[in-house]
Structure 1
Amino acid sequence: MTQLQFNLNMDLLKDSVMNSNIDAVVKSTIVLVLNEYMEKERDEHLKVHAYERSSYRQDYRNGYYERDFMMSIGKIRLRVPRTRSGEFAPTVFEKYARCDKAFVLSMVEMVVNGVSTRKVKKIVEELCGESVSKSFVSSLTEKLDPIVKKWANRPLNTQYYPYIFVDAMYIKVREHHKVVSKAVYIATGINEENKREVLGLKVDHTESYEAWQSFFKDLIARGLQSPKLIISDAHSGLKKAISTEFIGTSWQRCTVHFKRNLIDKMPKKGVAEVKFDLKRIFDAVKVEDARKFKDEFVIRYEENPKLDKFIEKLEEGFDDAIQFLNEDQKYHRFIHSTNSLERLNQEVRRRERVIRIFPNTQSAFRLIGAVLMDYDENQKKRRPLFKKE
């Protein structure tokens, strides 16, 4: 192990500490230590000390060169020793690489968590006293690309997912010097351990049957088996893609979206009792009870002309909205709606709102993927939705 020896003038050191900027003192001390450390390393590499003659000599000294080195305290300038053959390389830069990587990852994490590149740039300047460009901060996030890509393409044949939730949200992306709207397709599921898991992510053009079909084909190619139930809103292209790609799978229309659509068909006043009776239908725990409550609802209000459209929509979407009742009752509260996916979308939206417009599709996929990966990691640490019997 390299041993360092210093002869310090304590009075001078005390005066420097008391009367100088403490940051400058810290930097100067680190420069002193690292320069001395590299000098000793060169001696050990050469097998001789300065001005010493020895038959064990491995090489010859060849002066120094200056090198700037960025650390968490800021940029410092080191006096790096070199040898005639050029084979000597100090370990200082390797040793502190971990610190640099941690600092870089911290910046990346700030961006992923919704801190704008402009703010990250400012934080770096305050911490290090060095200016970095916004493009530099943005380029750091590209280090996430292989990680996100590997996660997004992981196999899905190691578990069975009986219940899958799908939804799309819209973001703004620059494309060919224009700002365009793109759809972000996200699929989550409840796995065999009764934990939520993100299954897939895709950034594509406007939501359509072809886009949903392509998204599902990607999931199936990764090993996804047909689930018992797919829960989503009532987008026509999505419904068609589900029936095409997942033969034998039932579709559950999100009851929250369905009830919201029904309420839009109600009069604005005097409908408190109607809403109560509607809630009673979807609070049922058996299919037979839900049908009974629905029939009673129709008989009670069918003479009210103001509720004609409401009843028509209820009859039209009722069967699709009660499919969850065919599953074990312990699952009902988790699979009757896409609320869990909506909350996840809100987390994505919170980060996306800071960026506002993604510079390209890849950057959108990278950041949203990183957010979903973080969600996945947190879900693994959480308790199951309920214990297995």
Structure 2
Amino acid sequence: MTHDEMRAEDLDQVEVEHRAAAARLREEFFDDELVDKLLAATGERGVSLTGAGGFLPEMIKTVLERGMGAELTDHLGYAKGDAAGRGSGNSRNGTTPKTVGTEVGDIALDQPRDRNSTFSSALVPKGARRLGGLEDMIISLYAGGMTVRDIQHHLGATLGTELSHETISNVTDAVLEEVKAWQSRPLEAFYPVIYLDALVVKVRDGSHVTNRSAHVAVGVDMDGVKHVLGIWVQATEGAKFWAGVCAQLANRGVKDVLIVCCDGLTGLAEAIEATWPHAMVQTCVVHLIRASMRFVSYADRKAVAAMLRPIYTAADEDAALMALAAFADSNLGKKYPAAVATWENAWDRFIPFLAFGPALRKVIYTTNSIESLNYQLRKIIKNRGHFPSDEAVIKLLWLAIMNIEDKRARERAKQASKGKDRKSVPRLIEGAAVTGWKAALGELALVYPDRVNAYL
């Protein structure tokens, strides 16, 4: 088990303990019979539970005000009306009205104050305008794909909480420091396989909106566990961008990579070979098939796919070359010369795949390991017409990935309580294991004994 997994399980255990303690306290003072009476009474009297005029906001108001009163008593050192306070140099000085947003709606508080203005409540800190998990709720809604305006409307409709566009934006921007720390965190020295894939996003550039590629890198460690290494938004094509990406990964501790599986990205191969001279760049076979199919009519696709299959399932390069020549000389090859050219142009980056055995081929055959993540990310970004900046793209994708990881951690904890192992968990990207990794690692150890054995 990795350090991150142990930490996640520790946090889950602490959360479980806190919930259990809260449940015991609730049962001690509010048993189920009392709760049922309360719910029946609110229904009979037409009182809502949440929102403006709701019972829960009123109850929280009472608890917070009494709690702040107790804090002030502790701060002054004497109770209200106690003669011990005479001549103490400080005393109560009325209250100040204050409205705070919560998960159950806005609450109007009367916040107590002292004459010397030295009192500061821990329950409702100075300057606080939101309490409890409201900020966490906003971030969760944002990570789930809702726009700032969607969140604004949702909170107003469900909780009666009116927050400005700027306030919600500021709440989501509060995670930017965490994003920067995550993007620059130290990485492992060795990743046998790294997958690279891209999402197309629309970003405002001055008075124009342009399409850009948000690249997500996923590294597979020696245990076959996948980790998102970083997110980069590509503003310009070419080697300069990829040289910066590779340099950043190297500066964060990556000393060696065996195979980088990608989609024939311009300048990437040169940048990788300059950073890790012994790394191999492998074109994603599935992307290659899709690219060649762009030129094929729907009626001929099954027949063309059948002719392409002997190429990428060939035993070696010579057999693959013969299969490609057979496709080029066929009626379909002559009908679709652009499809043939797609394979010819990518040949140098395709053939390394043929040097490996079946187990390793399954691992590097496609970037589907990362495309499953991208599928979930696309669902989240599809609601947005465009992003105001590259930073906004990275922020949302990071939040979404963290949201996915939280789901995985909760599922892991649930499965662990049932005595099940990692394989029974749905394959979310962060922390999921590559299928058939043990056999693939065995092949890598035979092909690259010096480089792999050093990290076993």
Aligned equivalent of 1:155, options 186, 205, 220: 186
**Using a 3 Å threshold, how does the CA distance of structure 1 residues 60 and 176 change in structure 2: closer, same or farther?**
same
**Cα deviation code 1:269-313 (max 9, x no counterpart):** 6675553242133224x42xx532542563586375726835555
After superposition, residues 105-120 of structure 1 pair within 5 angstroms as 105-120=136-151
Q: Is the 8 A contact 1:195 1:385 kept in 2?
A: no
Is 1:208 the counterpart of 2:234? The answer is no
**Cα deviation code 1:72-110 (max 9, x no counterpart):** 22222222332222333344326xx8x925221111111
1:41 deviates by 4.2
Q: Secondary structure at the match of 1:354?
A: coil
In structure 2, the gaps of 5 or more residues are 1-39, 409-428, 440-456
**Using a 3 Å threshold, how does the CA distance of structure 1 residues 191 and 308 change in structure 2: closer, same or farther?**
same
Amino acid at match of 2:173: E
- Structure-2 separation of matches of 1:267 and 1:78: 68
Q: Secondary structure at the match of 2:84?
A: coil
Is 1:21 the counterpart of 2:71? The answer is no
Is 1:323 the counterpart of 2:373? The answer is no
1:199 deviates by 1.6
- Structure-1 separation of matches of 2:173 and 2:301: 54
| Structural RMSD (CA) | 3.3
Aligned equivalent of 1:335, options 361, 364, 369: 364
1:240 deviates by 3.1
Q: Is the 8 A contact 1:174 1:360 kept in 2?
A: yes
Amino acid at match of 2:183: A
Amino acid at match of 2:362: R
Is 1:79 the counterpart of 2:110? The answer is yes
Aligned equivalent of 1:382, options 415, 421, 432: 432
After superposition, residues 88-107 of structure 1 pair within 5 angstroms as 88-93=119-124, 100-107=131-138
**Cα deviation code 1:127-170 (max 9, x no counterpart):** 321211222222211111011111111112x2411111223333
Is 1:173 the counterpart of 2:223? The answer is no
Q: Secondary structure at the match of 1:89?
A: coil
- Equivalent residue, structure 2, for 1:143: 174
Q: Is the 8 A contact 1:47 1:57 kept in 2?
A: no
**Using a 3 Å threshold, how does the CA distance of structure 1 residues 86 and 220 change in structure 2: closer, same or farther?**
same
Q: Is the 8 A contact 1:301 1:307 kept in 2?
A: no
Q: Secondary structure at the match of 1:357?
A: coil
- Equivalent residue, structure 2, for 1:6: none
- Structure-1 separation of matches of 2:171 and 2:78: 42
Amino acid at match of 1:302: D
- Structure-2 separation of matches of 1:121 and 1:373: 22
- Equivalent residue, structure 2, for 1:355: 384
**Using a 3 Å threshold, how does the CA distance of structure 1 residues 60 and 259 change in structure 2: closer, same or farther?**
closer
Q: Secondary structure at the match of 1:124?
A: helix
Aligned residues: 370
Using the TM superposition, name which of 104-113 and 53-62 deviates more: 53-62
Q: What percentage of residue pairs aligned between the two structures are identical? A: 23
Q: Is the 8 A contact 1:46 1:57 kept in 2?
A: no
**Using a 3 Å threshold, how does the CA distance of structure 1 residues 22 and 259 change in structure 2: closer, same or farther?**
closer
**Using a 3 Å threshold, how does the CA distance of structure 1 residues 54 and 124 change in structure 2: closer, same or farther?**
same
1:194 deviates by 0.4
Is 1:133 the counterpart of 2:167? The answer is no
Q: Secondary structure at the match of 1:234?
A: coil
1:214 deviates by 1.6
Using the TM superposition, name which of 177-186 and 17-26 deviates more: 17-26
Amino acid at match of 2:192: P
After superposition, residues 269-288 of structure 1 pair within 5 angstroms as 275-284=305-314, 286-287=315-316
Aligned equivalent of 2:263, options 228, 233, 244: 233
**Using a 3 Å threshold, how does the CA distance of structure 1 residues 32 and 258 change in structure 2: closer, same or farther?**
closer
Q: Secondary structure at the match of 1:169?
A: strand
- Structure-2 separation of matches of 1:229 and 1:15: 66
**Using a 3 Å threshold, how does the CA distance of structure 1 residues 261 and 122 change in structure 2: closer, same or farther?**
closer
Amino acid at match of 1:306: K
Q: Is the 8 A contact 1:251 1:320 kept in 2?
A: yes
Q: TM-score, normalization: structure 1?
A: 0.81
Q: Is the 8 A contact 2:103 2:132 kept in 1?
A: no
- Structure-1 separation of matches of 2:399 and 2:312: 36
- Structure-1 separation of matches of 2:327 and 2:65: 89
Q: Is the 8 A contact 1:16 1:25 kept in 2?
A: no
- Structure-2 separation of matches of 1:124 and 1:344: 29
After superposition, residues 172-191 of structure 1 pair within 5 angstroms as 172-191=202-221
**Cα deviation code 1:179-214 (max 9, x no counterpart):** 233332322222111022212221231322211222
**Using a 3 Å threshold, how does the CA distance of structure 1 residues 18 and 57 change in structure 2: closer, same or farther?**
farther
Amino acid at match of 1:21: V
Q: Is the 8 A contact 2:327 2:340 kept in 1?
A: no
Q: Is the 8 A contact 2:97 2:111 kept in 1?
A: yes
- Structure-2 separation of matches of 1:90 and 1:80: 9
- Equivalent residue, structure 1, for 2:153: 122
- Equivalent residue, structure 2, for 1:302: 329
After superposition, residues 256-275 of structure 1 pair within 5 angstroms as 256-264=286-294, 275=305
**Using a 3 Å threshold, how does the CA distance of structure 1 residues 220 and 46 change in structure 2: closer, same or farther?**
closer
